[in-house]
Structure 1
Amino acid sequence: MPILFSFYLSWVLFCSLASPNSVNLPLKAPSLGNWLVTEGWMEPNMFYGIKNNDLLDGTQGQLISTKLKKYLTAENGSETILMANHNSSSASSWQTFRLWRINETFYNFRLSNKQFIGLENQGNKLVAVSATEKFPEPFQITRKNGEPHRVRFRASNGYFLQAKSEMQVTADYKGPSTWEENDPSVFNMTIVSTMHGEYQITNGYGPDKAAKFMRDHWKSYITEEDFKFMSQNGLNAVRIPVGWWIAYDPKPPKPFVGGSLQALDNAFRWAQKYGMKVIVDLHALRVSQNGSPHSGSRDGFQEWSDSDIQETVAIIDFLASRYADHPSLVAIELMNEPKAPDLKLDSLKRYYKAGYDTVRKYSSSAYVILSNRLGGEWSELLSFASNLSRVVIDVHFYNLFWDNFNKMSVQQNIDYIYRQRSSDLRNVTTPDGPLSFVGEWCCEWEAEGASKRDYQRFAEAQLDVYGRATFGWAYWAYKCHLNHWSLRWMIENNYIKL
Structure 2
Amino acid sequence: MRGVNLGGWLVAENWMTKGSPAWNGVPDDIANKGEFQTMQYLGHAKGDDQFKRHRDSFITEQDFRDISAAKMNTVRIPVGYWITGFDNSGGGDPNGWRVFAPNAISYLDRAIRDWAPRYNLVVLISYHAAKGSQNGMDHSAPSDPGNSHWGNYPENVVNTLDAVEWLARRYNGDAAFLGIGLLNEPSGTTPESVLKQYYYDAYGRIRLFSSCLLVVSPLLYQQGPYDSDWKNFMRCPNWYNVRHEWHRYQIWGFEGWDKNRLISYAQNELKNAVNAWVGNWLFIGEWCIASSANFDNDDDLRRYAQAQLEAFKGATGGWTFWTWKFYNDDGSRNGWSMKSMVNRGFIQL
The reply to whether TM is greater than 0.5 is: yes
Once residues 186 and 209 of structure 2 are traced to their aligned partners in structure 1, the CA distance between those partners, rounded to angstroms, is: 25
Q: Among 426, 430, 436, which residue is 2:282 paired with?
A: 436
Match of 1:59 in 2: none
- 1:271 maps to a residue whose letter is A
- Are 1:205 and 2:54 an aligned pair? no
Do the aligned residues in 2 keep the contact of 1:237 with 1:278 (CA within 8 Å)?
yes
Q: 1:263 to 1:19 in 2, by over 3 A?
A: farther
Encode CA deviations 1:99-120: one digit per residue, 9 max, x unaligned. xxxxxxxxxxxxxxxxxxxxxx
Match of 2:90 in 1: none
Q: 1:486 to 1:407 in 2, by over 3 A?
A: same
Match of 2:89 in 1: none
Displacement of 1:434 in angstroms is 1.3
Do the aligned residues in 2 keep the contact of 1:227 with 1:270 (CA within 8 Å)?
yes
Displacement of 1:245 in angstroms is 0.7
Q: 1:14 to 1:360 in 2, by over 3 A?
A: farther
How many residue pairs align between the two structures? 323
- 1:344 maps to a residue whose letter is P
Do the aligned residues in 2 keep the contact of 1:479 with 1:487 (CA within 8 Å)?
yes
Displacement of 1:42 in angstroms is 3.0
Displacement of 1:234 in angstroms is 0.4
Do the aligned residues in 1 keep the contact of 2:266 with 2:307 (CA within 8 Å)?
yes
Task: Trace 1:122-161 onto structure 2 (pairs within 5 A).
Answer: none
Encode CA deviations 1:75-110: one digit per residue, 9 max, x unaligned. xxxxxxxxxxxxxxxxxxxxxxxxxxxxxxxxxxxx
Task: Trace 1:110-129 onto structure 2 (pairs within 5 A).
Answer: none
Q: Among 401, 409, 413, which residue is 2:252 paired with?
A: 401
- 2:108 maps to a residue whose letter is L
**Partner SS for 2:162:** helix
- Are 1:352 and 2:189 an aligned pair? no
Do the aligned residues in 2 keep the contact of 1:438 with 1:472 (CA within 8 Å)?
yes
Q: Among 12, 17, 35, which residue is 1:42 paired with?
A: 17
Q: 1:422 to 1:327 in 2, by over 3 A?
A: same
Q: 1:493 to 1:233 in 2, by over 3 A?
A: same
TM-score by length of 2: 0.86
Encode CA deviations 1:353-375: one digit per residue, 9 max, x unaligned. 011112212212x1110012111
Match of 1:264 in 2: 108
TM-score by length of 1: 0.61
Match of 1:221 in 2: 58
- 2:232 maps to a residue whose letter is S
Encode CA deviations 1:326-348: one digit per residue, 9 max, x unaligned. 111112110001115x2111111
Displacement of 1:210 in angstroms is 0.9
Displacement of 1:203 in angstroms is 2.1
Displacement of 1:423 in angstroms is 2.7
Displacement of 1:450 in angstroms is 3.0
**Partner SS for 1:484:** coil
Displacement of 1:231 in angstroms is 1.0
Match of 2:260 in 1: 411
Do the aligned residues in 2 keep the contact of 1:13 with 1:260 (CA within 8 Å)?
no
Task: Indicate the RMSD between aligned Cα atoms, in angstroms.
Answer: 2.3
Do the aligned residues in 1 keep the contact of 2:21 with 2:53 (CA within 8 Å)?
no
Match of 1:247 in 2: 84
Q: Which structure shows the higher strand fraction?
A: 1
Once residues 223 and 29 of structure 2 are traced to their aligned partners in structure 1, the CA distance between those partners, rounded to angstroms, is: 37
- 1:278 maps to a residue whose letter is V
**Partner SS for 2:76:** strand
Do the aligned residues in 1 keep the contact of 2:223 with 2:246 (CA within 8 Å)?
no
Do the aligned residues in 1 keep the contact of 2:48 with 2:102 (CA within 8 Å)?
yes
- Are 1:323 and 2:171 an aligned pair? yes
Match of 1:487 in 2: 338
Match of 1:18 in 2: 12
Gaps (5+ residues) in structure 2?
A: 87-94
Do the aligned residues in 1 keep the contact of 2:22 with 2:51 (CA within 8 Å)?
no
Displacement of 1:409 in angstroms is 1.5
Once residues 196 and 489 of structure 1 are traced to their aligned partners in structure 2, the CA distance between those partners, rounded to angstroms, is: 26
Match of 1:130 in 2: none
- 2:296 maps to a residue whose letter is A
Displacement of 1:209 in angstroms is 1.1
Q: 1:303 to 1:14 in 2, by over 3 A?
A: farther
Do the aligned residues in 1 keep the contact of 2:6 with 2:323 (CA within 8 Å)?
no
Match of 1:237 in 2: 74
- 2:344 maps to a residue whose letter is N
Do the aligned residues in 2 keep the contact of 1:410 with 1:450 (CA within 8 Å)?
no
- 2:10 maps to a residue whose letter is S
- Aligned identity (percent) is 29
Encode CA deviations 1:422-473: one digit per residue, 9 max, x unaligned. 2322343x3xx41100110001011125322221111100111112210100
Match of 1:459 in 2: 305
Once residues 120 and 102 of structure 2 are traced to their aligned partners in structure 1, the CA distance between those partners, rounded to angstroms, is: 28
Encode CA deviations 1:109-148: one digit per residue, 9 max, x unaligned. xxxxxxxxxxxxxxxxxxxxxxxxxxxxxxxxxxxxxxxx
- 1:221 maps to a residue whose letter is F
Match of 2:123 in 1: 278
